[in-house]
């Protein structure tokens, strides 16, 4: 489009034009004032005066003609579409809230008024371009709906500022929160200086009873009861009164363990219950909190939440049981007692029935060994059990070995330390600790001709895995490759699958023909176990090597062993995380942060195994995931995860020879976004009201939303003066002279 | 053979086979982890003041407790590297010990820094319980080894008096003082001094006959001396196990039953 117009000379600043116009106006006033004093010739004076002032003004302004080729550019309008998981909830009348959102966006497109629309989805952090109607957009990925963060990102962006904002959402936002003040809402758009129009996709809440919030007060500490506040809501006209609620701990081995249960009394659509739960194991634990929703509930997915709880540990509680006092027992006890982070409960067998102390019982400082009490009532309260040279049979431990195996599989730690009464010699071979499904990391010979121990002294040999295992790194720092000579050892069988053998016997072979394990570590269910088939560990303190190293090797060994048993991050070969959390049905990424490896180990691939550990309510079997990926030299290796159904999972990453590490995580269909299924149109209305925008329901006429006018842009411009400046000057001079003559003739000065 | 006797014979054979098939545990994989009352030798010493006492100590310990003990205790010189091979030494004498050499002092310091325990037994104390020449000289030499710490008196409130037996006082071949003295570091008794000739009460001659009579005398005094020796061994093997809270209510109840027990005078 081509246009033409007049303008003043471009070299005049706006103030000069204003001053000239003001002087011209003043001249007209003076002229009118003087006309009253004329004697004659009023018409000539007036006309000549007016012409002279106009000519003078034109001489100053020097008019030019501007010819331009122009185009109209629509205003930039940003549509912020809610891309959170709540938009995947069903919409009354069919479809989802995301469908209603996309319809609204298309309707706005139809009423564009030339506006340039940019559609961004908001959820977590800055908004991202949203391709409406695509399967990805329909899935609504984000686990949060943070409108404030998206607006802050727009404000900080160097791109062209929008002239209007339109938010399309169900109103169930994380930020701004429910009940935010008008002042807070007014500052939402920051310095953008534009109104925020809002479109609410959903009017009515679905019939739904849900776990709206599961919260803990403070940190969860192992063995310490902590409150779990469960908030339940009922909406959409669903009749709710008393709703039972349960909290269970999901365990890899066996069904979830019931931790607490209660009843939520629902009044005015909401209610809460405070449960007290105690988690015995530290680390990442997954709680399943579930309500029994009344009939008519339309969204069963939010009746169950899988909560990941990071359980810390004040002190490691260790039960140390020794079959008899020896130098090895002394060394371990002294180390355990020297560590302020370890709380030791110890029981040593100081006398058996075959020993006669020649004293009245009241003269003895002996107490009964409370085996039944320890292994029934108190067993879960310990983080680790150390059985050192302890014969299971004479002291009634045999009948508790099934419970001990269950304790391990439920997440407890077990260390069996060698001695004549350990392993085969202690009667563990055919027990739940040492049989075919036993929890010890090595097999034990349960035959009648089994050899329990080998009294020939030997120097333990480091295995390749032992050399790179993080848990023995502190010991290797102190002693290097050297280990003290051991005064014989227990005869152990082959390592079980998944076991890492750290030391082996230099000459003895296991039944499979491989070097006999001397120190081996393994995982069973949620727990970990260690087999140390010698009773000469104390020689890391008292020996020539001990003297050279000031006895530090013993503490370094046990620091690593107990630390690994307790999943101390220092001794894990890698740290795992699911990037952005896991959303059911969507592919994800698991990132492994790895410790530096030796060059040989770095070439070995990483092996990831993921198994589902909760029971699928639908009874569907979830296949385990197995991945082998090359190690990324940067130290962080990303492993693609397939879409997983909602549930609790255990991932195990085997890192070359360094052993394996574990990470528990939960996948939820909706998570927090589905916890409260009610739409919140009022909040959207308040946002629009506070910023001067317009609120509209998606099923109303969306043309009510005012769109900003388009902007005209000149593409090509020609400026030409109407006449040269001297012409205007001469004309003004002539007219001024004529006016002077007319004034003189009229009797004016 | 009657059917009944056949059954009995089969049963006996089966029992014998069963017994034979039970895995035979080794004894502490060659005694290495067992209690060893190693005799400490300094200067020109060649053995303990009462040579039979260490073996008798082991024997008493093994017969009364579950602790394994070395039947033929070793001898070790203070300036030998082998001093740091085990966590206990027994030093006794009847006459003043010559000053320790620099090597001996260095060896003993290394031994104690590793957490080793030393039992210094005056084999010739005066009858009134005051230290003899060995006791006095040993104390001054130990003061050179650990110059920063002086011995303190330890009585029935110390764990040594309850590691196995509940003892009312210290006794040996000589009744001596009711308490022991000890160099305590970090709450642990590293060097325990006895002015009771505990070894003299333990010493046995050929055929198991007690070599020395106890002063002032009586079966009970010797028994108490043996119990003290057992407790010292148990302290070496169990450290402060009997200080654990779990034992407290039992031991307090029993202490209350023992006449004359209480605080150290």
Decide if pLDDT at B13 tops 70. no
Most confident among A89-93, A94-98, B64-68 (mean pLDDT): B64-68
Cβ atoms of A325 and A232 within 8 Å: the answer is: no
pLDDT value of position A140: 59
Cβ atoms of A530 and A565 within 8 Å: the answer is: yes
What is the average pLDDT across A282-289?
91
pLDDT value of position B24: 40
Mutate to test the interface with A, among B32, B82, B86 (most CBs of A within 10 A): B32
List, in sequence order, every residue forming a beta bridge with A667; answer none if it has no partner: A582, A647
pLDDT value of position B28: 46
Chain Cα centroid distance, residue B178: 17
Per residue in A18-59, pLDDT tens?
A: 999 999 999 999 888 888 777 777 888 889 999 999 999 999
**Of all residues in chain B, what percent carry a pLDDT higher than 90?**
73
What is the average pLDDT across A363-390?
92
CA A433 to chain B, closest CA, distance in angstroms equals 18
What is the average pLDDT across A432-447?
95
Residue A594 belongs to a domain: yes
CA A426 to CA A349: how far, in whole Å? 14
* Inter-chain CB proximity A425 and B23 less than 8 Å: yes
A183 and A271 share a domain?
A: no
User: Is the peptide bond preceding residue A608 cis, with omega within 30 degrees of 0?
Assistant: no
pLDDT value of position A438: 95
Decide if pLDDT at A354 tops 80. yes
Decide if pLDDT at B173 tops 80. yes
Which carries the bigger pLDDT value, residue B27 or residue A372? A372
Decide if pLDDT at B254 tops 90. no
Mutate to test the interface with A, among B16, B17, B19, B23 (most CBs of A within 10 A): B23
**Encoding tokens for residue A651?**
């991932």
- The chain B residue lying nearest A424, using CA atoms, is B23
CA A624 to CA A609: how far, in whole Å? 7
**Of all residues in chain A, what percent carry a pLDDT higher than 70?**
97
pLDDT value of position B12: 47
Residue A583 belongs to a domain: yes
Cα–Cα–Cα angle for A575, A579, A584, rounded to 5 degrees: 120
Q: What is the DSSP string of A483-522?
A: -PPBS-EE---PBPTT-EEEEEEEEEE-TTSSEEEEEEEE
Going by pLDDT thresholds of 50, 70 and 90, the confidence category of residue A602 is low
Q: Is A641 left (phi over 0), alpha (psi -120 to 50) or beta?
A: beta
Tokens 């680790």 correspond to A384
Q: b/e per residue, B101-114, with b = 16+ CB within 10 A?
A: eeebbebbebbbeb
A689: CATH = 3.40.50.410
What is the average pLDDT across A89-95?
89
A212 and A198 share a domain?
A: no
**Of all residues in chain A, what percent carry a pLDDT higher than 90?**
62
Q: Does B25 touch chain A (CB under 8 A)?
A: yes
A278 and A406 share a domain?
A: no
A34 and A176 share a domain?
A: no
Per residue in A196-208, pLDDT tens?
A: 999 999 999 999 9
User: Is the peptide bond preceding residue A176 cis, with omega within 30 degrees of 0?
Assistant: yes
Nearest Cβ partner for A364 among B81, B116, B166: B166
* Inter-chain CB proximity B236 and A547 less than 8 Å: no
Going by pLDDT thresholds of 50, 70 and 90, the confidence category of residue B18 is very low
pLDDT value of position B249: 75
Cβ atoms of A421 and A325 within 8 Å: the answer is: no
Decide if pLDDT at A370 tops 70. yes
Q: Does A518 touch chain B (CB under 8 A)?
A: no
Most confident among A312-321, A578-587, A715-724, B157-166 (mean pLDDT): B157-166
A633: CATH = 2.60.40.1930
Residues of A in contact with B250 (CB under 8 A): 365, 367
CA B195 to CA B186: how far, in whole Å? 24
A window 341-370, beta carbon within 8 A of B: 344-352, 355-359, 362-367
Cβ atoms of A463 and A504 within 8 Å: the answer is: yes
Per residue in A210-227, pLDDT tens?
A: 999 998 877 788 888 999
Whole-model pTM: value is 0.75
Decide if pLDDT at A739 tops 80. yes
Going by pLDDT thresholds of 50, 70 and 90, the confidence category of residue B17 is very low
Annotation: CATH topology of B30-255: Rossmann fold (3.40.50)
Q: Compute the mean pLDDT over every residue in chain A, rounded to the nearest whole number.
A: 90
A286 and A325 share a domain?
A: no
What is the average pLDDT across A358-385?
91
Q: Does B3 touch chain A (CB under 8 A)?
A: no
Which carries the bigger pLDDT value, residue A192 or residue B236? B236
Residue A465 belongs to a domain: yes
Residue A57 belongs to a domain: yes
Structural domain including A293 reads 208-305
A277 and A376 share a domain?
A: no
Residue A714 belongs to a domain: no
* Inter-chain CB proximity A453 and B244 less than 8 Å: no
* CA nearest neighbour of A141 among A587, A594, A703: A587
Which of A565, A600, A620 is where one domain is finished? A565
Nearest Cβ partner for A355 among B66, B166, B242: B66
What is the average pLDDT across A277-299?
92
* Inter-chain CB proximity B67 and A324 less than 8 Å: yes
CA A288 to CA A256: how far, in whole Å? 8
Nearest Cβ partner for A536 among B33, B65, B227: B33
A79 and A66 share a domain?
A: no
Number of separate domains in chain A: 5
A363 and A505 share a domain?
A: yes
B window 100-159, beta carbon within 8 A of A: 110, 113-116
Decide if pLDDT at B19 tops 50. no
pLDDT value of position A36: 78
pLDDT value of position A139: 58
A430 and A369 share a domain?
A: yes
Decide if pLDDT at B1 tops 50. no
Decide if pLDDT at B261 tops 50. no
CA A429 to chain B, closest CA, distance in angstroms equals 11
What is the average pLDDT across A384-390?
96
Per residue in A227-236, pLDDT tens?
A: 999 999 999 9
pLDDT value of position A578: 92
Which carries the bigger pLDDT value, residue A712 or residue A346? A346
Decide if pLDDT at A598 tops 70. no
Q: Does A419 touch chain B (CB under 8 A)?
A: yes
pLDDT value of position B30: 47
* Inter-chain CB proximity B239 and A357 less than 8 Å: no
Going by pLDDT thresholds of 50, 70 and 90, the confidence category of residue A141 is confident
Going by pLDDT thresholds of 50, 70 and 90, the confidence category of residue B7 is very low
A window 136-155, beta carbon within 8 A of B: none
Cα–Cα–Cα angle for A703, A84, A576, rounded to 5 degrees: 160
Decide if pLDDT at A713 tops 50. yes
What is the average pLDDT across A69-88?
88
A111 and A132 share a domain?
A: yes
Decide if pLDDT at B85 tops 90. yes
A256: CATH = 2.60.40.10
A6 and A147 share a domain?
A: no
Which carries the bigger pLDDT value, residue A619 or residue A503? A503
Decide if pLDDT at B27 tops 70. no
pLDDT value of position B159: 96
Going by pLDDT thresholds of 50, 70 and 90, the confidence category of residue A138 is low
* CA nearest neighbour of A414 among A561, A221, A573: A561
What is the average pLDDT across A675-701?
94
B window 163-202, beta carbon within 8 A of A: 163-166
Residues of B in contact with A421 (CB under 8 A): 25
Question: For residue B122, what is the DSSP state?
Answer: E
A190 and A233 share a domain?
A: no
Q: Is the dihedral of CA A638, A639, A644, A650 positive or negative?
A: negative
Q: b/e per residue, A210-242, with b = 16+ CB within 10 A?
A: bbbebeeeeebbbbeebebebbbbbbbebebee
């Amino acid at each position: 489009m081509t246009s033409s117009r007049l303008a003043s000379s471009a070299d005049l600043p706006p103030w000069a034009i204003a001053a000239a116009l003001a002087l011209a106006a003043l001249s007209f006033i003076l002229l009118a004032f003087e006309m009253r004093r004329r004697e004659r010739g009023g018409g000539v004076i007036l006309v000549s005066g007016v012409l002279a002032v106009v000519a003078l003004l034109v001489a100053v302004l020097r008019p030019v003609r501007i010819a331009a080729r122009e185009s109209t550019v629509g205003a930039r309008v940003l549509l912020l579409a809610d891309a959170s998981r709540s938009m995947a909830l069903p919409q009354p009348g069919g479809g989802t809230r995301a469908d209603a959102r996309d319809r609204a966006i298309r309707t706005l497109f139809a009423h564009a008024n030339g506006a340039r629309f940019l559609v961004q989805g908001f959820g977590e952090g800055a908004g991202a371009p949203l391709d409406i109607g695509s399967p990805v957009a329909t899935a609504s990925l984000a686990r949060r709906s943070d409108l404030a963060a998206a607006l802050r990102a727009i404000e900080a962006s160097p791109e062209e500022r929008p002239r209007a904002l339109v938010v399309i959402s169900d109103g169930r936002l994380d930020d701004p929160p429910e009940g935010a003040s008008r002042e807070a809402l007014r500052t939402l758009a920051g310095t953008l200086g534009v109104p925020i129009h809002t479109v609410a996709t959903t009017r009515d809440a679905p019939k739904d009873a849900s776990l709206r919030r599961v919260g803990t007060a403070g940190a969860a500490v192992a063995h310490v009861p902590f409150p779990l506040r469960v908030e339940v809501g009922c909406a959409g006209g669903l009749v709710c009164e008393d709703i039972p609620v349960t909290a269970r701990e999901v365990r890899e081995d066996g069904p979830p363990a019931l931790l607490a249960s209660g009843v939520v009394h629902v009044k005015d659509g909401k209610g809460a219950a405070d449960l007290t739960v105690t988690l015995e194991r530290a680390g990442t634990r997954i709680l399943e909190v579930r309500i029994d929703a009344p009939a008519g509930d339309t969204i069963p997915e939010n009746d169950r939440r899988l909560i990941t709880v990071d359980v810390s540990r004040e002190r490691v509680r260790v039960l140390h049981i020794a079959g008899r006092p020896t130098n090895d027992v002394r060394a371990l006890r002294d180390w355990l007692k020297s560590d302020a982070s370890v709380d030791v409960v110890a029981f040593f067998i100081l006398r058996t029935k075959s020993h006669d102390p020649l004293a009245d019982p009241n003269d003895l400082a002996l107490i009964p060994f409370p085996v039944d009490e320890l292994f029934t009532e108190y067993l879960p309260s310990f983080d680790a059990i150390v059985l050192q040279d302890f014969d299971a049979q004479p002291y009634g431990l045999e009948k508790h070995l099934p419970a001990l195996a269950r304790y391990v599989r439920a997440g407890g730690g077990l260390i069996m330390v060698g001695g004549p009464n350990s392993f085969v010699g202690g009667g563990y071979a055919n027990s739940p600790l040492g049989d075919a499904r036993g929890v010890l990391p090595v097999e034990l010979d349960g035959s009648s001709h089994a050899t329990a121990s080998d009294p020939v002294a030997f120097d333990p040999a480091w295995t390749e895995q032992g050399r790179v295992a993080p848990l023995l790194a502190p010991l290797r720092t102190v002693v290097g490759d050297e280990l003290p000579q051991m005064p014989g050892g227990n005869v152990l069988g082959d390592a079980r699958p998944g076991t890492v053998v750290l030391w082996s016997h230099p000459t003895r072979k296991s039944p499979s023909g491989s070097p006999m394990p001397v120190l081996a570590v393994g995982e069973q269910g949620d727990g970990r176990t260690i087999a140390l088939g010698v009773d000469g560990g104390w020689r890391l303190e008292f020996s020539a090597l001990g003297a050279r190293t000031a006895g530090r090797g013993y503490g370094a060994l046990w620091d690593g062993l107990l630390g690994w048993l307790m999943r101390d991050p220092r001794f894990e070969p890698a740290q795992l995380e699911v990037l952005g959390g896991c959303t059911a049905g969507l592919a994800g990424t698991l990132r492994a942060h790895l410790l530096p490896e030796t060059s040989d180990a770095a070439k070995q691939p990483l092996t990831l195994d993921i198994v589902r550990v909760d029971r699928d309510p639908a009874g569907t079997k979830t296949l385990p995931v197995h991945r082998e990926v090359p190690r990324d030299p940067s130290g962080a290796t990303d492993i693609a995860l397939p879409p997983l159904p909602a549930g609790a999972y255990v991932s195990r990453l085997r890192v070359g020879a360094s052993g394996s590490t574990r990470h528990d995580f939960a996948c939820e269909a909706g998570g927090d976004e589905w916890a409260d299924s009610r739409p919140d149109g009022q909040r959207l209305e308040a946002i629009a009201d506070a910023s001067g925008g317009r609120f509209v329901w998606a099923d109303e006429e969306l043309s009510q939303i005012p769109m900003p006018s388009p902007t005209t842009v000149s593409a090509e411009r020609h400026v030409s003066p109407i006449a040269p400046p001297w012409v205007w000057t001469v004309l003004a001079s002539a007219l001024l002279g004529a006016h002077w003559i007319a004034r003189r003739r009229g009797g004016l000065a | 053979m009657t059917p009944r006797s056949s059954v009995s014979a089969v049963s006996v054979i089966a029992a014998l086979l069963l017994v034979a098939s039970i895995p035979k545990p080794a004894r502490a994989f060659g005694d290495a982890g067992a209690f060893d009352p190693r005799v400490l030798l300094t200067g020109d010493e060649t053995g303990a003041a009462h040579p039979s006492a260490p073996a008798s100590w082991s024997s008493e310990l093994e017969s009364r407790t579950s602790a394994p003990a070395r039947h033929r205790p070793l001898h070790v010189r203070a300036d030998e590297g082998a001093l740091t091979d085990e966590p206990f030494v027994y030093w006794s004498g009847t006459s003043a010990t010559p000053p320790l050499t620099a090597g001996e002092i260095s060896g003993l310091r290394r031994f104690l820094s590793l957490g080793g325990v030393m039992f210094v037994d005056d084999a010739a104390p005066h009858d009134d319980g005051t230290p003899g020449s060995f006791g006095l000289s040993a104390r001054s030499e130990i003061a050179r080894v650990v110059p920063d710490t002086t011995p303190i008196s330890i009585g029935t409130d110390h764990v040594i008096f309850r590691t196995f037996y509940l003892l009312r006082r210290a006794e040996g071949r000589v009744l001596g003082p009711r308490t022991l003295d000890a160099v305590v570091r970090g709450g642990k008794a590293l060097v325990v001094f006895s002015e009771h000739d505990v070894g003299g009460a333990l010493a046995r001659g050929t055929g198991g006959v007690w070599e020395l009579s106890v002063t002032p005398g009586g079966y009970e005094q010797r028994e108490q001396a043996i119990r003290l020796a057992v407790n010292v061994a148990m302290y070496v093997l169990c450290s402060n196990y009997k200080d654990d809270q779990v034992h407290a209510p039992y031991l307090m109840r029993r202490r209350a039953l023992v006449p004359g027990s209480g605080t150290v005078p």
